[in-house]
Amino acid sequence: MPNEMSRDTIQHSLLHHNVLIVWRPEYNLGIPIIDEQHRGIVTTINSFHYAMQHKHGESMLHPVIAMVKEYTHIHFEVEENFLKYCEFPDLENHIVMHNELRHELTKIGGKSLMNQNPYQFMDFLKKWWIDHICEKDRVFHEYLLKIERKK
Ligand SMILES: [Fe+2]
Ligand SMILES: [Fe+2]
């Protein structure tokens, strides 16, 4: 029966949808606004991954780049203000790393349509997630624990 078939297809797609990044509690840094924004970045990566798997990567590329640019602008500002506020000692270096990512995003966003492809942008997003959020941002958590212990 066609209806049963389509229900099966939907069910299969829901149960076996391959989420690229599954959010785990250990990703939380303990700073609610930053954790919330990191989760937003993961959602964007997962949505874009889903679009690519369903052959919508090309048409989603521009809206996703524009969205990530705006989101990055806000997120880095929030993070830098927070680090200033809690006198994070490595603030200058962290701003340098953010500036490199800002620069890379401007470069990607400035490319012509012909020179962009979803796979390259996904590589950039994965690098941002793995090298920056999971590694460089992780130190805030340790720093906050250190401050807490001193109190
Ligand atoms: Fe971050
Ligand atoms: Fe950061």
Between the CA of 90 and the centroid of ligand 2 the distance, in Å, is 11
Structural contact between residues 118 and 60, judged by C-beta atoms closer than 8 angstroms = yes
Between the CA of 119 and the centroid of ligand 2 the distance, in Å, is 23
Between the CA of 63 and the centroid of ligand 2 the distance, in Å, is 23
DSSP 51: H
pTM, 2 dp: 0.86
pLDDT at 114: 73
Neighbours of ion ligand 1 (CB under 5 A): 137
pLDDT at 133: 96
pLDDT tens-digit map of 72-120: 999 999 999 999 999 999 999 999 999 999 999 999 888 877 788 999 9
What domains can you pick out in the chain, each with its CATH number? 2-150 (1.20.120.50)
pLDDT band at 6 (very low <50, low <70, confident <90, very high): confident
Structural contact between residues 94 and 80, judged by C-beta atoms closer than 8 angstroms = yes
Cβ neighbors of 130 (< 8 A, separation 6 or more) are: none
Percent of the chain beyond pLDDT 70? 91
pLDDT at 124: 94
The stretches of the chain forming alpha helices (DSSP H) are: 2-16, 32-53, 57-85, 91-110, 118-127, 138-150
pLDDT at 92: 97
DSSP 17: -
